[in-house]
Amino acid sequence: MLQQTTVRAVAPYYARFLELFPTVEALAAAALSDVLKLWAGLGYYARARNLHACAKAVVEQYGGRFPSTVTELGQLPGIGPYTAAAIAAIAFDARATPVDGNVERVVARLFAYEPELPAAKAALRRLAEGLTPNARAGDFAQALMDLGATICTPKRPACALCPWNDVCVAHAADDPERFPRKAAKAEGQLRRGAAFVAMRADGFLLVRSRPPHGLLGGMTEVPTTAWTNDFDPQDAPAEAPLAASWRRVPGAVRHVFTHFPLELAVYKGRVPALTDPPPAMRFIPLSDVGGEAFPNLMRKVLAHAGVDQHPNPTRRRAPRPATHRSK
């Protein structure tokens, strides 16, 4: 949960997650849809899918106990080199070197490493591995992360407090903020589309589930057109999922994903009670909207359409969604 999300945003989700899934066995036995509902609002939903798949693999392959080596950990779903090294070092005190952004910054400054990120990642990892001691590797890993988070910060680092200031090349050159050097990031091209909020007269909302893999995989959404660079809103009514008197809600919903910004025109329509849903779609009671696995984008669409996402006053509200980019 803490990958690319702040502690403040994660805390209520983490507490609720552990309450419902206190063990790896409980998480493995849960339905993915239930896991995604708890994750709704945190973004980067591949993390939830990978966490669920990882729990199932640990239970099925290792009897519910995590393996202790970097190699075995790296073979579990969703666990890459950083996470494998972090678990091995911190949980099992193996000689492993987890390298996150904080560690990259410390090492780049320590050696005044000139090549740009992201191409320099492998070299910075090797330099970090060369610093890792044979004993207390877990303590060293956490200390190095904390050094980057609290002292060797991106702006105005507190070099006077750094235990390595007498050997840091960037500090000696009085230019620590120059490192690490980063290549210019290309901005994704704006995509557009339309979202259709179909309300049934008997109090139901038309939704569907996204494909299990890829962007927002497995999450719930209202039907939309394709998101393209050349979308024309005038063509949207022809792609509506049901016959209705569709009315475009003034304005648009804007959202930023990791690789591109998105703008959705929102259309609202009302259909008769007991209308059957189109194939691969379903109607859900409006009273269940708050508990569905809608990502932040869809919460914005529903809010723009004036849909009450907490219609039942006795229902406990979910934590306030975090503000960040989605993936």
Task: Enter the tokens of residue 174.
Answer: 């009085």
Partnered with residue 248 across adjacent β-strands are: 267
Whether residue 74 is found in the same domain as residue 111: no
Number of structural domains found in the chain = 3
Instruction: Please state the φ and ψ torsions of residue 82, each to the nearest 5 degrees.
Output: -65, -50
Whether residue 206 is found in the same domain as residue 284: yes
DSSP 89: I
Question: If you average pLDDT over residues 262-291, what whole number do you get?
Answer: 95
| Res. 168: pLDDT tops 80 | yes
Q: What is the CA radius of gyration of the chain?
A: 24
CATH of the domain at 66: 1.10.340.30
pLDDT of residue 317: 41
CATH of the domain at 259: 3.90.79.10
Nearest-CA neighbor of 103 among 138, 146, 137, 134? Answer: 146
pLDDT of residue 200: 96
Domain boundary among 143, 178, 213: 178
CATH of the domain at 111: 1.10.1670.10
Interaxial angle between packed helices 101-111 and 137-150, expressed in degrees from 0 to 180 and rounded to the nearest 10: 80
> pTM of the entire structure?
0.70
Pairing of strands 191-200, 253-256: unpaired
Whether residue 237 is found in the same domain as residue 280: yes
Q: How far apart are CA 167 and CA 132, in angstroms?
A: 16
Pairing of strands 261-271, 247-248: antiparallel
Indicate whether 218 belongs to any domain: yes
Whether residue 57 is found in the same domain as residue 119: no
Q: Give percent of the chain above pLDDT 70.
A: 95
Domain boundary among 178, 202, 231: 178
| Res. 318: pLDDT tops 90 | no
pLDDT of residue 314: 39
pLDDT of residue 92: 96
Whether residue 157 is found in the same domain as residue 81: no
Indicate whether 186 belongs to any domain: no
pLDDT of residue 212: 85
Indicate whether 248 belongs to any domain: yes
DSSP one-letter string for 30-74: S-HHHHHHHHTTS--THHHHHHHHHHHHHHHHHTT----SHHHHT
Range of the domain at 137: 101-178
Whether residue 206 is found in the same domain as residue 294: yes
Q: How far apart are CA 282 and CA 300, in angstroms?
A: 20
Indicate whether 312 belongs to any domain: no
Tens of pLDDT, residue by residue over 97-154, are 999 999 999 999 999 999 999 999 999 999 999 999 999 999 999 999 999 999 999 9
Nearest-CA neighbor of 321 among 32, 3, 14, 9? Answer: 9
Indicate whether 17 belongs to any domain: yes
3-state DSSP assignment of residue 274: coil
Q: Tell me if 266 sits within 8 A of 304, measured CB to CB.
A: yes
Question: If you average pLDDT over residues 4-31, what whole number do you get?
Answer: 94
Domain boundary among 178, 211, 237: 178
What totals of helices (H) and strands (E) does the chain contain, helices first? 12, 7
Find all residues with CB under 8 Å of 291, minimum gap 6, and list them.
37, 315, 318
What does the CA dihedral 160, 161, 166, 169 come to, rounded to 10 degrees? Answer: -80
| Res. 12: pLDDT tops 50 | yes
Whether residue 87 is found in the same domain as residue 123: no
| Res. 75: pLDDT tops 70 | yes
3-state DSSP assignment of residue 124: helix
Whether residue 262 is found in the same domain as residue 294: yes
Please provide the average confidence, as pLDDT, over all residues in the chain. Answer: 92
Q: How far apart are CA 301 and CA 14, in angstroms?
A: 26
Q: Where are the alpha helices (DSSP H) in 136-262?
A: 137-150, 169-172
| Res. 327: pLDDT tops 90 | no
State the DSSP H helix or E strand holding residue 271, giving kind and residue range, or none if neither: strand 261-271
Using alpha carbons only, give the angle 147, 152, 156 rounded to the nearest 5 degrees: 150
Lowest mean pLDDT among 118-127, 176-185, 239-248, 317-326: 317-326
Tens of pLDDT, residue by residue over 219-262, are 999 999 999 999 988 889 899 999 998 999 999 999 999 889 99
Tens of pLDDT, residue by residue over 37-58, are 999 888 888 899 999 999 999 9
Indicate whether 323 belongs to any domain: no
| Res. 186: pLDDT tops 90 | no
What does the CA dihedral 51, 57, 62, 63 come to, rounded to 10 degrees? Answer: 90
Whether residue 22 is found in the same domain as residue 75: yes
Indicate whether 124 belongs to any domain: yes
Indicate whether 274 belongs to any domain: yes
Whether residue 108 is found in the same domain as residue 67: no
Q: How many other C-beta atoms are found inside a 10 Å radius of the C-beta of residue 241?
A: 20
pLDDT of residue 311: 56
Whether residue 115 is found in the same domain as residue 88: no
Whether residue 169 is found in the same domain as residue 195: no
